Chain A
């Protein structure tokens, strides 16, 4: 079915993997974000703070939590890290008051006060200096009725994290009520991480061995499975296509992520499934539309931890959103199946630069080259009888390229 030979797929897989690494946040960005998040976390749970009586607990959520963050297309743009601040507040109560509790905590500190911005569902802290990012904290309270979803056969382990959040635009925002918007980002994260658990464990173990560290000391941001890498590539491809779209039609990340994870479960189930990244991402992308359901009220992308929620509910109000998804999907399939991918290095580069960004591609390709040089210096780089550089053949002995730009 594919036009690529095995060796070609291996090579393209290594390029796609480097591309995903160049799309992921840098180590510095992760370290910065994590240290700032930890400071905020500590501040919010401080036993001397106003939140203490509510037993606050902080967790990251969203793409930071599940390891699918991507760098913004434009270098100077901020990225955001999402977190929840769970408070043991009993409902019914007023959303506005709970929101204010967290806001007041931040306002009790001069620095955080200055960085603070109130948003629809969260408090935003704007970090201006080195790493350009903002931290969004969503106040969340527990619910008592999460077991109602057991009938849909969602594991209790995922359901128990469900909570209710505040929303400025909610009709009952100012009213004493139990009718609040629901959210289960932690349950979703658990579901997602469970989908790729086997691969993540294997990678974590291998990293621990190669770095001579215990498994617990391997930071999560260093562990990236083919599923996460595939989603990073998908999101970047999407970001580029919709970069200048004024109509906000770009397929939302939760839809891409959910469909990709569901497809991945299917892809790795088969005993004949390939280990190559190229094969995995191509199969995952190919199968994603299979998980969009046709129901009487329209297209559904079911939330795996809340089957009563449709991630694609906005498609029903705006058919352009649905069309946009399928157009994006088709475009990505065309890239992955492009006949130029194995015609030459130049042609392959053209295809990938257009889809994932020129500077990103260059960074990735250079990293591939650096890796080869380091390997050769370590006497681990080989060449076979056709001249192919890699892990098969005879070791390339050390030498130093020389020569000047003479005419």
Chain B
């Protein structure tokens, strides 16, 4: 099968992929842009994190975590997010070409979201981000 590199994978195909790999997810809309929600838990004892992915074919998919992630008196900045308020996750470095429009969201963005949540839960306890990445996450808690 020849892949036509310049034409992005269609929203329908993306939606199919999501249904296939994450059957518990909910497709809110496909056209004019894809909105999909799923509950993810990175470990067997984690809470369920409600994640929303929006994708309009033009720009890279956006991932938002809907749960409140920090307790009231935790004043730290979330690591690896585009927006603290909107909790929009930053899962890849555009220049490293790990994502492009021909890739299935279900095989890239969603696993990376689960992985972000996994490292987030550790960071929340230890103040240390172990997931690697560009822009070092500096400790924000004073060491006792």
The residues of A with any CB-CB pair to B shorter than 8 Å are: 5, 7-8, 10-12, 341-346, 348-349, 358, 361-362, 365-366, 368-370, 372-373, 376-377, 381, 383, 385-389, 394, 396-407
Contact = CB atoms under 8 A, between A and B. Distances in A.
Interface residues of B, number: 61
Nearest to A9: B44
21 contacts: A11-B44, A345-B47, A345-B125, A365-B122, A366-B126, A366-B130, A369-B118, A369-B119, A372-B115, A377-B132, A385-B21, A386-B40, A387-B113, A389-B43, A397-B108, A400-B92, A401-B119, A401-B131, A402-B93, A403-B89, A406-B83
B41 to A, nearest CB: 5
A398 to B, nearest CB: 6
A342 B93 CA distance: 34
Contacts of A385: 21-24
Contact of A386 (B24, B78, B118, B126): B24
B33 to A, nearest CB: 22
A403 B90 contact: yes
B34 interface: no
Given A343-B45, A385-B23, 6 more contacts: A372-B115, A396-B111, A396-B114, A397-B111, A401-B80, A402-B92
A370 B23 CA distance: 30
B46 interface: yes
A1 B128 CA distance: 36
Given A368-B122, A406-B84, A344 B47 contact: yes
A161 to B, nearest CB: 45
Given A381-B115, A400-B133, A406-B82, A362 B44 contact: no
B98 interface: yes
B107 A345 contact: no
B125 A346 contact: yes
B127 to A, nearest CB: 8
Given A369-B122, A396-B115, A387 B91 contact: no
Closest 5 CB pairs of A and B: A403-B90, A369-B130, A387-B40, A401-B133, A399-B98
A383 B115 contact: yes
Contacts of B80: 401-403
B114 A389 contact: yes
Contacts of B96: 399-400
B125 A362 contact: yes
A402 B91 contact: yes
Contacts of A361: 125
A5 B132 CA distance: 31
Contacts of A376: 115
B72 to A, nearest CB: 13
Given A383-B115, A407-B84, A397 B107 contact: yes
Given A365-B122, A389-B118, A399 B112 contact: yes
A385 B43 CA distance: 12
A385 B122 CA distance: 21
Nearest to A343: B45
Contacts of A397: 98, 107-108, 111
A349 B71 CA distance: 15
A70 B114 CA distance: 35
Nearest to B99: A399
Contacts of B38: 387
B44 A7 contact: yes
Interface in B16-38: 21-24, 38
Contacts of B53: none
Contacts of B24: 385-386
B64 interface: no
Contacts of A12: 45
B61 interface: no
Contact of A396 (B23, B93, B112): B112
B44 A342 contact: yes
A376 B91 CA distance: 14
B52 to A, nearest CB: 14
B57 interface: no
A78 to B, nearest CB: 22
Contacts of A368: 122, 130
B77 interface: yes
Contacts of B126: 362, 365-366, 369
Contacts of A342: 44-45
Contact of B85 (A373, A396, A407): A407
A155 B30 CA distance: 75
A222 B127 CA distance: 29
A43 to B, nearest CB: 41
A388 B67 CA distance: 17
Contacts of A401: 79-80, 90-93, 116, 119, 129, 131-134
B62 interface: no
Nearest to B40: A387
